[in-house]
Amino acid sequence: MDDLMTEGARPAGARPAPAHGQIDVLDRYPAHAGAARLYGDSISGDVDALYRRLRAEHGPVAPVLLEGDIPAWLVLGYREAYYVASRADLYIRDSAVWNAWDLVPADWPLRPALGNGGDSVTWVTGAEHARHSDAIHEVLAAVDPFELRARCERIADELIDTFADRGRAELMYSFAHVMPARAIAGVLGIPAEDTAGMVQDLVALFDHSTDALAAHGRLMALVTRLITQRRDNPGVDAISRMVTHPAAFTDVEALQDIFAILASGQQPVAYWIGNTLRLLLADPRFATTLAGGRRSVGQAMTEVLWEDPPVANFTGRWAVRAGQLGGQRIQAGDMLVVGVAAANADPEVRPDPAAGPGGNQAYLTFGTGEHRCPFPAQELAEVVAQTAVEVLLDRLPDLTLAVPADDLLWNPAIWVRGLTTLPVTFTSA
Ligand code: HEM
C-alpha cells in the first residue's frame, strides 16, 4: 500500500481564501490536465469501460472531474478504496479542509452530499460519531426481522394488487421504489394517514424532480412533528427509541439522524430490488432456475452487490495531509471518491469475473470503517429487498422483461447504479 506520507505540507485546516481574478486550476491540480469527467456524456455510456480505461491509464487512483469540472480523485483499486474508507484519521470526513471550495459555485448540485456543516451520524467523527452510531445500531437492531418480513409481505401484496390484473407494469415506480419507503415508514412508526404522502416525498427526493426541494421540506416537517409527539408519548417505533435513547439527542440531532436513516434506507434498497429483478429476468443462468424456487434469489442479490452495487461511488473523504496513494500524488485537502463499483471489479481481487462471487461477501458495497452502513441496516435492507423479489416472483411467476435487457436505462448519476424504469409483462391474475 502506498501510504499517505507526511510532508511539510501546508495546514489542511482552513478553506483557501477566495481566488481573485482568473483561477489557474491546472497550476493547482497539475495531474488533472485532461482528466475524465465523472458526469454528463462521458458517463452516459458504458461506465464500467470508463473505469477499466481509467485503471489502465492511471492505476488504482485516477484524477477525475466532478460536475462543473471540479477536481477529485477516483479510488478504483479495492485495496486503496478499503484503505481510504477505513482510515478515518488520514481521510477525514470534514469537508471544511477541502482545498477546492473556492472553485465551487453556490448552486453546485453535489453540495448536499458534502455535509454542509450537518452533524448527523454521516458527518460527525470520533467519540461523537460513536454516540450517534451506537444509538442507530441499537434502534435498528430492535426491529424484529420476522415482523418486518411479515409487514413487507403485506406491502408487496398490496402493491402487486394494484397492477396484477393489467398484464404489464413498470416495476421501478409501482413497486421497487415504494417497497422500501413503506417499509421504513413502518419502522419509524409513521402514522397511517401520513404514510402515502411521506412515501411519495421520499421517492421524489431522489428523483431530481422539481418537487424534490418541497418534498425535502415536507419530510423534515413531518419528522419534526413526530419527534415532538414521541417525546411526550413514546411508542415502540424507531423515532421513539431515538428520542428516548440515553445518548440524549437534541431535537435537531434526532431529526438529522432520522433523516439519514430515511434517505439511506430508500434509494439503495429500491435499486437493489430493481437490479436483482433485472438480473433474474435477463440472465439465462437465472431464468432457467427461476421456476426452481427461491435459492436463485439470494444468489442474484449477492451477485448484484458485487456487479451492480446500488451505491456505486461515495465521497465524503478528504486527505488530511499531502502524500502518495496508489502511485498518485495527493495534496492536503484533496477530495477522494471511493469507487465501490470499480473496486468490486478490481482484477486484483476478481481475477476471473466470469467465475461469479459464490458466497464471497467481501464487496465494498456497504462501505467499511467507522462510517460503513450499520450492520442492522444491512440486515433490514436484505429483508425488505428479498421479500419484495420473492413475493413478486411467487405472485407473477411468468414475469418477463417487456423490452430487450440492453434497452433498459440506468440512472445517469455516477453515485448510484439503478434502473430508471423496469417494464415487464406477465399473465394477468
Ligand atoms: C442496498 C442497501 C444499502 C446500501 C448499498 C447501503 C450503502 C451504504 C454505504 C456505502 C454507506 C457508507 C458511506 C460512507 O462510508 O461514506 C452507508 C452508510 C449508512 N447507511 Fe446504508 N446502505 C443500504 C441500506 C441502508 C438502510 C436500509 C439503512 C437504514 C435503515 C441505511 C442506513 C445507513 C446509515 C445511517 C449510514 C451512515 C453510517 C455512518 O455514517 O456511520 N443504509 N450505507
- Kind plus residue range of the DSSP H or E element containing 317: strand 314-319
User: Ligand 1 centre and the CA of 256: distance in Å?
Assistant: 14
The residue nearest atom 18 of ligand 1, judged by CA position, is: 373
Contact 377, 140 (CB under 8 A): yes
Q: Going edge to edge, which strands form the sheet with 400-401? A: 168-170, 423-425, 400-401
Q: Which residues share a beta bridge with 324?
A: 329
What percentage of the chain exceeds 70 in pLDDT?
91
Give per-residue pLDDT as tens, 28-55.
999 999 999 998 888 877 899 999 999 9
Distance CA(424)–CA(398), nearest Å, equals 10
Q: What is the mean pLDDT of residues 219-234?
A: 96
Query: Could you tell me the sign of the dihedral formed by the alpha carbons of 178, 179, 184, 190, in that order?
Result: positive
Q: What is the mean pLDDT of residues 223-239?
A: 96
Q: Looking at the domain 25-425, which fold is it?
A: Cytochrome p450 (1.10.630)
User: Ligand 1 centre and the CA of 41: distance in Å?
Assistant: 28
User: Ligand 1 centre and the CA of 304: distance in Å?
Assistant: 16
The pLDDT, as a whole number, for residue 194 is: 93
Atom of ligand 1 nearest to the CA of 129: 41
Q: pLDDT grade, residue 428 (50/70/90)? A: very high
Query: Which residues does ligand 1 sit against, CB inside 6 Å?
Result: 85, 121-122, 133, 136, 140, 260-261, 264-265, 268-269, 272, 310-311, 314, 316, 365-367, 371-374, 377, 380-381
In the chain, count H helices and then E strands.
15, 11
Amino acid at 255: L
Highest mean pLDDT: which range of 80-84, 259-263, 315-319: 80-84
Atom of ligand 1 nearest to the CA of 305: 5
The residue nearest atom 7 of ligand 1, judged by CA position, is: 366
Q: Where are the alpha helices (DSSP H) in 87-177?
A: 126-141, 145-161, 171
Question: Residue 421 pLDDT more than 60?
Answer: yes
The pLDDT, as a whole number, for residue 277 is: 97
User: Ligand 1 centre and the CA of 264: distance in Å?
Assistant: 5
Q: What is the mean pLDDT of residues 183-192?
A: 94
Give per-residue pLDDT as tens, 264-285.
999 999 999 999 999 999 988 8
Q: Which of 43-57, 175-189, 264-278, 353-367 has the lowest mean pLDDT?
A: 353-367
Atom of ligand 1 nearest to the CA of 370: 41
Question: Residue 57 pLDDT more than 70?
Answer: yes
Atom of ligand 1 nearest to the CA of 367: 10
Grid coordinates representing 4?
Answer: 499517505
Q: Which residues contact 296 (CB under 8 A, 6 or more apart)?
A: 280, 286, 289, 290
